[in-house]
Amino acid sequence: MRNCLLTVFLLFVFTTIKAQTIQGKLVDEITGEAIPFVSIGVMGTNNTTVTNDAGEFILKNVNFPVKLRYSHVSYFMLEQELNGPANNLIVKLKPAAINLKPVVVDPYRGLKLVKAALEKAAGFSTQHFYGNAFYRQLTSLNGKPSQVYELFYDLEFNLSKVKGWIAKQSRFAETNDGIAFSMSNQSYLTFSLAGYLFEEKKTGKTVTLKSLNDFEISIEKYIEQKNQDIAVVSCKYKGNKKQFYINSTYYIGVEDLKIYRLENSIFNLPIKLSGSSSKIPPIATTIATFNGEKTPIPVIENISTKLYLNLIAGGRTLTPVISSMLTIYQLDKTLNTQKFTELTKNVKDKAIIESIAYNPIFWKDNPFVKQTTLEESSIKMMESKSAFGTMIDP
């Protein structure tokens, strides 16, 4: 009987330890600085995540022992074995060698790389992907945090756009100090600006297979990885700078022709804001990271955007800055059975958020909701006012 009880106890302990969580931070081996947008995956599974702006990450439902893989285009890939849970794991990545002065044999090498990468992706343009995502948006007004909302939702997407979404959990808060500013469909703006390999627009100029000759394309440098070099290729628009246009920088594998990172600088964004006029055309920047290890094409993992505005409303100058972070932390083909809401510019974020009852238990100590310093100060301010809820205005 005693041995039987001992066996049951050991099985219970093993079961509770087997599926656990790993929390940690990725830093530069030389400088010690945090590394954002590092892909972390449990080898042999679909369990993956990406570090946030502060280099922090979390992996849930991990079965030990486990082997993790850390990858970033500017650092050497690292594999690490863990035998048990870790709550404060510090992982150091070694910077990859940078070749700033490549021998110029072919002046059209950059153009050929971008064209080949886009053509390769175009062969999969109709393939749909499904995944679980977390989204946070923070608005600062004249240098002070004014609004924050966070969403967990399921996504349907391809290489051209997000096709649809289903919100699962949400929370929202905003200050009430006499000045108000809100983007009613910032999520659509985020999705439409960044992370896609085919930016077909009716107006303005973006990098596509049809518009490559409109851009000055050159290789800035090579990142010397173990398996292949990554070419950093800049595409700068040569035409009329008064219209809407996007300058892009691609990180392309020279052997597999996959795009691993895409940075966009967006100028003269054609957006309309009611009740205000713009002193300076809006500017937006985006960074998107892709994972091409398990698929023949790069699949979006993370999108970070920042939108800068300079407005006059009611005789007052307003300088809103809207930042957002989208992380697709798990791909799941079985989600294709759901009925997704089509994502268009007519979708209003407020209506989506109001449709879901605020669940404080879900958000309390939620390990996935990691914050950078800026976001943390804003969220703490909102929580101190008991502001979080479904469209609560303290």
C-alpha 171/C-alpha 168 separation (Å) is: 11
* SS3 call for 84: coil
Which residues, in sequence order, are CB contacts of 6 under 8 Å at separation 6+?
none
The domain ranges of the chain are: 2-95, 109-384
C-alpha 392/C-alpha 149 separation (Å) is: 11
- The helix (run of H) or strand (run of E) holding residue 231 is strand 229-237
Q: What is the DSSP string of 131-199?
A: EEEEEEEEEEETTEEEEEEEEEEEEEE-SS-EEEEEEEEEEEEE--SS-----TTHHHHHHHHSS-S--
Q: What is the DSSP string of 298-346?
A: -EEEEEEEEEEEEEEETTEEE-EEEEEEEEEEEE-GGGGGS-PEE--TT
| Dihedral over Cα of 85, 364, 330, 75: its sign | negative
CB 64 within 8 A of CB 18: yes
78 is written with which tokens? 């690292």
C-alpha 35/C-alpha 54 separation (Å) is: 7
C-alpha 345/C-alpha 9 separation (Å) is: 56
Cis status of the peptide bond prior to 65, with omega within 30 of 0: yes
- pLDDT at res. 8: 34
Counts for the chain of helices (H) and strands (E), in that order: 6, 20
C-alpha 321/C-alpha 186 separation (Å) is: 12
Q: Mean pLDDT for each 10-residue chunk of the chain (394 residues)?
A: 38 43 91 90 81 82 89 91 88 88 72 95 87 85 80 86 84 69 64 61 79 94 89 94 90 93 88 60 84 78 85 77 84 90 74 78 71 61 58 41
Which CATH number is 2-95 given?
A: 2.60.40.1120
- pLDDT at res. 191: 67
